[in-house]
Structure 1
Amino acid sequence: MTNVPAISKDAFASSGNWTREQTKLAFHFYCQTPFGKLHGRNPDVIALASLLNRTPDALAMKCCNIASLDPAMGARGVAGLGNASSLDRQIWGEFHSDWEALALECEALLEALRAQYAQPVRDAEIAEAVEDISRDFVGETRAAMVKVRVKQAFFRRSVLSGYHYRCCISGVSDSRLLVASHIVPWRDDVAIRLHPGNGLCLSALHDKAFDSYLFSLTDDYRIVLSAALENTKDSFLREAFHPISDRRIELPERFIPEVGFVQRHRERMLVSA
């Protein structure tokens, strides 16, 4: 990435209160990691804790405190450790106000930390994308495309990990067939492009149908088919979609799809009918 920030000597203190930078990176990590893996033995927790100059157990505890702020966790009866700080709440609010800026800032911070400690880039997905872009583009075009890939990678991991990498309709778990599907399309609302609550983990088939407004969801997350899909003569489509009509999708462990986003999608489906 470009515009790698300079790191203040106080930004990653090893003791005392967590700094803004440490808390941002902990939240960034929380978004992309299944709750069951937020423990001090997870190699990814260990790697990030080393960069943050904190212990793995301290990072795991910080993520669990952040989890206590997530309404989805409360709905599942998981309250985290319940010791979220005022800074945790502030960072939670900042991400929800500007997901794109914070995702880019956190990725730039991680890049700067890895460079400082001569650690390799852990994110193979982004590294491969950057290598591909670097071969074909230069200058501002390259920088813009790298940013898009970073944002897309953050959204994909945040959504898919919340659903434990399983399609919320079919249960398909092969990552090659899974899509982080936007409820409100990427092009329609810049403010919520990276909001995990604007995403569903869907198989490629269900993603294409959802994106084409062939089905939508009710406010209580039940599948509602479009008139076109209800009346289709295509035998495959009837077999694939008619049995799931009115079925409730599997909800994620965090960032439950926002009802307002679901309503926007459903209204668009009804208008398209």
Structure 2
Amino acid sequence: MKNPKWHRKELILALDLYFKLEPGQIHARNPEIISLSETLNNLDIYKDKPDAVKYRNPNGVGLKLSNFLAIDPNYQGKGMSRYGKLDKEIFEEFQNSRDGLRKEASIILNTLG
């Protein structure tokens, strides 16, 4: 069974990290990506995680950040072009509002306690 689609809150946290990293830092071994993976797993969004091992693991988080590369008009490379509609909507909503993105991300993180 597939894991659920990415939720808006998850995408906000992922995009916030995306804007902090250089493209060469987007990989599953990056400690910040590993930390985001752990954070996403602690969010109280989806009670039922069909594949707990693969759910928002560092590989999946790295791929999601690579989706943003494909959307980013400032990135000269290719990125992972199989991004979702919500990925693009979130990117376009916050690409010129980094302060708003940081604020939204902080609100989400504060719900973790």
Shorter-normalised TM-score: what interval? 0.7 to 0.9
Distance across 2 between alignment mates of 1:96 and 1:34? 15
Query: How high is the sequence identity, in percent, across the aligned residues?
Result: 31
Give the match for residue 90 of structure 2. 91
The alignment yields a C-alpha RMSD, in angstroms, of 1.7
Q: Distance in 1 between matches of 2:30 and 2:108?
A: 21
1:80 and 2:79 are equivalent in the alignment: yes
In structure 2, distance between residues paired with 1:59 and 1:40: 7
Partner deviation per Cα, 1:97-142 (whole Å, 9 max, x = no partner):
64332221112212333x2xxxxxxxxxxxxxxxxxxxxxxxxxxx
Determine the C-alpha separation between the residues in 2 that align with 1:47 and 1:103.
17
Matching of residue 65 in structure 1 with residue 53 in structure 2: no
Runs of 4+ with deviation above 6 angstroms: none
> Counterpart of 1:18 in 2: which secondary structure?
coil
Q: How many residues align?
A: 98
In our comparison, the structure showing a higher alpha carbon Rg is 1
Distance change >3 Å, CA 98–CA 44, structure 1 → 2: closer
Q: Partner of 2:103 in structure 1? A: 104
Residue of structure 2 aligned with 1:27, choices 15, 18, 33: 15
Cα offset for 1:47?
A: 0.8
Distance 1:112 1:33 in 2: 24
- Equivalences for 1:36-51 in 2 at 5 Å? 36-51=24-39
| Structure 2 residue matching 1:71: 3-state secondary structure | coil
* TM-score, reference length from structure 1: 0.34
SS in 1 for 2:74: helix
Paired with 1:47 and 1:24, the residues of 2 have a C-alpha distance of 15
Q: Which has the higher strand share?
A: 1
Q: Residue 16 of structure 1 aligns with which residue? A: 4
For normalisation by structure 2, the TM-score amounts to 0.78
